[in-house]
Amino acid sequence: MQKISQYLYSNRIELLADLATFNVEFTNVYQRPIKIYKGVDNVLEFDIKNADQKRLDLINSPAIDNIKLNVIDASGFEVGVYDITPQAPTKGIGIATIPAADLEDFTAQFFRYSVTCDKGLDEILLYGDTRFSALGTLELVGPAKGINKADLEPRVYDTFTAEIDLKGVPTWHSSAIPATFYEADKRSTLQFDIDVLGLTGNVWIEATKSTTITAEAFKAGDTVHSFSNSEDQTATLTSPALTIGDYKYFRVSYSSQLGNGIGASFSVQLDNNSYVVQVRSGGTGYAVGSQIKVLGSVLGGTDGVNDLIITVTGTDGSTTGYVSSYSISGITSVSWTGTAATGSSTYVVTGKNITGTVDKISVN
């Protein structure tokens, strides 16, 4: 029988307050990284000394006050600021707690930390070693406790790529969705919630037993569920619980009767808070009535305020400007709506189809 011994581990961090304004003489030349864990409250203990290696009286001494732990991510943004509370009657010892909730949205990574305090009217740093290093390292590891599968947030996929057939009509595919993860108790089913926007067409879920993600692998695989919409629909389509079995990957595919094309680009001119749009490249696979949205921020304005909506009013079979040997239904004319930002500029833009699309997939 294996015996596992465990010990109460103190995350004690030794710090130095240079209160006498002379060179620091403390000989701690290395401050080890401190491990903290997701899913639990992390209690850190600080041992605060002066340059003579004597612990400071953090309660009765007026020398320093308001001691804070500052946690910073790799980009320099603040994760949190925490009070370091003196622990009576022991001199020099302070405790800070990083709540589990503050680490919930972070993945495993390294943080930096510093400790500051008030010295009179000034805010000063406490040093961690003789080289006046004021920044230490916290290693976020976790989770320290298992996660209940029922509490997991759905995985969301919102990236689609087009596959164009020999008639120039695109079929859209999501990125590959893994059937299982590195779980000891592997899940047996998956459920797909598919958000569709104004879709007239077909949506289907494909699965492959191949360990290699390729278009050919999905084509040789199985269609495990499908939806068909005969009218414009903005809704969430929910599949039954699909058995994973030997499947390695799934993907969601769709085609639209509304001409959800690809490859069009436009020249957009701002003129007295109005847009003037010209077709620059016709693309392929569009239909009269197809709509394309260009965000206001792309056009020097604000999203939601200066968005441009382009509606296809004419197509042809040769697709002017689009380099393809099998293009069809390229855009030849458009109408548009939207309020432009102030100024006079010209932009070359593409946009996002907003008719006949799948917006995102949530996998439970």
In a domain, 224, yes or no: yes
**Domain end (from 141, 169, 186):** 141
Q: Are residues 195 and 282 in the same domain?
A: no
Question: What average pLDDT does this structure show over 290-298?
Answer: 92
Q: Are residues 34 and 137 in the same domain?
A: yes
What's the pLDDT score for residue 31? 64
More confident residue, 235 or 277: 277
Task: Output the six-digit token pair for 302.
Answer: 């604000």
In a domain, 24, yes or no: yes
Structural domains in the chain (count): 3
Q: What is the pTM of this model?
A: 0.60
**Helix, coil or strand: residue 323:** coil
In a domain, 96, yes or no: yes
Written as one letter, the residue type at 134 is A
In a domain, 153, yes or no: no
**Domain end (from 195, 223, 258):** 258
pLDDT band (50, 70, 90) for residue 71: very high
In a domain, 350, yes or no: yes
Q: Are residues 43 and 90 in the same domain?
A: yes
Phi, psi of 254 (to 5 degrees): -155, 155
**Domain end (from 97, 113, 141):** 141
Q: Per mean pLDDT, which of 127-131, 264-268, 285-289 is the most reliable?
A: 264-268
In a domain, 127, yes or no: yes
Range of the domain at 267: 262-354
Q: To 10 degrees, the CA torsion angle through 251, 252, 257, 258? A: -110
- Check pLDDT > 90 for residue 15: no
Question: What average pLDDT does this structure show over 39-59?
Answer: 82
- Minimum mean pLDDT among 126-130, 255-259, 355-359: which range? 126-130
Q: How many CA atoms lie within 13 A of 323 on its CB side?
A: 0
Q: Are residues 169 and 50 in the same domain?
A: no
In a domain, 7, yes or no: no
Q: Are residues 254 and 283 in the same domain?
A: no
